[in-house]
Amino acid sequence: MEEIKLKSIEKFYEGAEIFITGGTGFVGKVLIEKLLRSCPNIKTIYLLIRRKKGKNGEERIQELVTNNKLSDFVNKLHAIDGDVMEINLGISNSDREKLKACSVIFHAAASVRFNDPLRKAILLNTRGTRETCKLATELPNLKSFVHVSTAYIEPRNLYVEEKVYPIHANWRTYINYAENVEEEILNFLTPKLTKFAPNTYTFTKHLAEHVCIDYMKEYNLPVIIYRPSIVTASEVEPVPGYLDNLNGPVGLIIAAQLGLYHVSVGNVSFELNMIPVDICVKGMIVASVKNAKQNDEVCEIEVINAASIKHLTVLVLMHAIKTFKQNSLKVIDVTSVTFTSCTAYAWMIRIFRQIIPSVIIDSLLKMTKNEPRLMKIQRLIFDAERNLKYFQYRKFKIPNHNFHDLNLNIPLNERKDFMVNEVSFNQLELMGQVQEVIFLILI
């Protein structure tokens, strides 16, 4: 395949104004850092930020700048007060006027909780996408719209191709349900309404993809559907092993390191398709340039599976956990995790190694007038296991030809900054980097 000549990625973003939703999330933070470091001539990045804990958008941007060492770029970051769950994204008319100069949108806002109530999942994942698409139709200079979806968009299909899948339900109807039907009724009807999907997250993200497709067809929006697999700690940037949350497998690893997690039900041949966040973000940046709209040309949808070609197996994970050094005073028990397919045996270990010790320690904390917290952690572990249960017994194949073909669109002099391959990606090395970050959290 011949290399496609593409203008400089850095030049594409030179003088650009960019709108990002989900900028305070894990992927969003790394995306902002990468854009500012590797494309320093960006004019402005507007971040949709909702008020949280009494802090407005500008105050939360200052937190973001301080926590991520972006003080050199503080003048390029501007808050747009709003909320993805609100009509019109909760953006004022004056702020919508500011956004009309934007040429690129990265829509990365979403709830990643698998078990959100259906109403919340629809309003955030599906209607939030519709409202972002509506905003996109108002931007006369829009060249690229990257919609961040999920590689598990078709959880019943173990071979998830880089293509659009038929819609399971009318997204307009489901937004109407979320807006007008009482939440208790929606919760009761969730299994039926979601066609018995494994969770509300994948179902509403599936609907969101079709929101983008319909708006692309009607308004010729330059949409790219970008589907990451499990986004995990960074390989290199901004620092090796960077992560800012304890969600998913990483949270369970930390629980194991603390001696709070001792058993997992599943198959030892189970594989986790994990993509380092920095590789994921580089793909987003390159994809937005590759598929940028030129003048009034007709847009075509492209689907990109941002998935790894190297899978983390349970056996590798077991080895990583066994080699963890316990050098934190906060460790409760010896690190040891048993993987079994027997539910009864798993519950026996869970009760005697996790629940009973947690109850005893929480009781002692209460007696000494300290806050009990271990049973709360056990509930979080249980929720994480429940959310992952469907996927633990299924071996997904996620082809990613379009993802790796992004490398063909990178000029030679920019490949060091934007290549999306995993030449140096090593499962055990990544686990070691994560371990170092864990120790920083625990000590």
Asked whether the beta carbons of 28 and 22 are under 8 A apart, the reply is: yes
CA nearest to 104, candidates 217, 249, 223: 223
Whether 65 is covered by a domain: the verdict is yes
- CB-based contacts of 25: which residues, under 8 Å, 6+ apart? 108, 109
pLDDT band at 188 (very low <50, low <70, confident <90, very high): very high
How many domains does the chain fold into?
Answer: 1
Whether 358 is covered by a domain: the verdict is no
Question: Tokens for 199?
Answer: 């969770």
Percent residues over pLDDT 90 in the chain? 44
Kindly state the average pLDDT of the residues 79-83. 91
Kindly state the average pLDDT of the residues 54-73. 72
Alpha-helix runs per DSSP H in 237-341: 248-257, 277-290, 314-322
- CB-based contacts of 345: which residues, under 8 Å, 6+ apart? none
The residues pairing with 19 across neighbouring beta strands, listed in sequence order, are: 46, 105
**CATH number of the domain to which 175 belongs:** 3.40.50.720
The pLDDT tens digits for 18-33 are 999 998 888 999 999 9
Question: Tokens for 379?
Answer: 């509930």
What is the pLDDT at residue 46?
95
Per the prediction, the chain carries an average pLDDT of 84
Whether 432 is covered by a domain: the verdict is no
* Dist. CA 380–CA 395, nearest whole Å: 25
Kindly state the average pLDDT of the residues 190-205. 88
| Chain centre to alpha carbon of residue 18 | 19
What is the pLDDT at residue 421?
75
What is the helix (H) or strand (E) element at residue 8, kind and residue range? Answer: none
Whether 17 is covered by a domain: the verdict is yes
In the numeric block, the tokens 């009761």 are attached to: 188
Residue 64 sits in which domain range?
Answer: 9-233+273-307+396-424
The pLDDT tens digits for 286-317 are 999 988 877 666 677 899 999 886 666 666 66
Whether 285 is covered by a domain: the verdict is yes
Whether 434 is covered by a domain: the verdict is no
pLDDT above 90 (res 224)? yes
Whether 249 is covered by a domain: the verdict is no
What is the helix (H) or strand (E) element at residue 340, kind and residue range? Answer: strand 338-340
Peptide bond into 238 cis (omega under 30): yes
pLDDT band at 3 (very low <50, low <70, confident <90, very high): very low
User: What Cα–Cα distance (Å) separates residue 111 from each residue in 64, 81, 290?
Assistant: 19, 19, 27
pLDDT above 60 (res 424)? no
pLDDT above 70 (res 2)? no
Whether 300 is covered by a domain: the verdict is yes
**374-383: long-range pairs with CB below 8 Å, 24+:** 374/260, 374/332, 377/255, 377/260, 378/260, 378/354, 380/251, 381/251, 381/252, 381/255, 381/260, 381/261, 381/354, 383/115
